[in-house]
Amino acid sequence: MAPRVAPDGRVVLSDINEAMLSRGRERLMDRGIAGEAVEYCLADAEKLPLDDGRFDVVTIAFGLRNVTRKEAALAEMFRVLRPGGQLLILEFSRPAAPLAPAYDLYSFRVLPAVGKLIANDEQSYRYLAESIRMHPDQETLRDMMSAAGFEDCRYHDLTGGIVALHRGWKY
């Protein structure tokens, strides 16, 4: 995003986990993306230490399902957006009915076994599958965004609904 908004725009990367934030910084530096256009902010999505109406776009990818109080995080994302700004959420979701049995088999049997074999960490891969299952489905997340104040909320299923991109606007 930094090259797209340069030279006048800024990108703020935020994570509650300092190690993840540092890894993100390293990866950007390895790609030659750094400098004044990128800020790093160690923060809880439920209590963002950022000014009201600061951003044109807020994005979160594969992280909202790990937030305990999703409603609080959505309210914070709404707060930091400028009028006319948009929220984009990319997250695992509910697959279409024909894919569900195969997806469940993969998620709860294959993925943990592969995690154990390759990373010697079956539990983390089991948690991944469980956190996806506990995350709100497409319609519920869309309704949560509306309840937080976003308008024109919609979603687009990707990979048969295994992943969905949600979008809402602050008018």
For 47-85, what is each residue's pLDDT tens digit? 999 999 999 999 999 999 999 999 999 999 999 999 999
pLDDT reported for residue 70: 98
pLDDT reported for residue 46: 98
Indicate the domain borders of the chain. Answer: 2-95+136-169, 96-134
Output the average pLDDT for the chain: 95
pLDDT reported for residue 4: 86
pLDDT reported for residue 8: 87
pLDDT reported for residue 34: 72
- What distances in angstroms separate CA 30 from CA 21, 23, 27, 36, one per listed residue? 14, 10, 5, 16
For 7-54, what is each residue's pLDDT tens digit? 888 899 999 999 999 999 999 989 888 777 899 999 999 999 999 999
Is residue 89 predicted with pLDDT exceeding 90?
yes
Instruction: Say if strands 163-169 and 151-158 run parallel, antiparallel, or are unpaired.
Output: antiparallel
Q: How far is residue 3's CA from residue 110's CA, in Å, rounded to a whole number?
A: 38
pLDDT reported for residue 113: 96
3-state secondary structure of 84: strand
Distance of CA 59 to the CA centre of its chain: 7
CA trace torsion 26, 27, 28, 29 (10° rounding):
50
pLDDT reported for residue 5: 87
Task: Classify domain 2-95+136-169 by CATH number.
Answer: 3.40.50.150
Secondary structure letter of residue 128 according to DSSP:
H
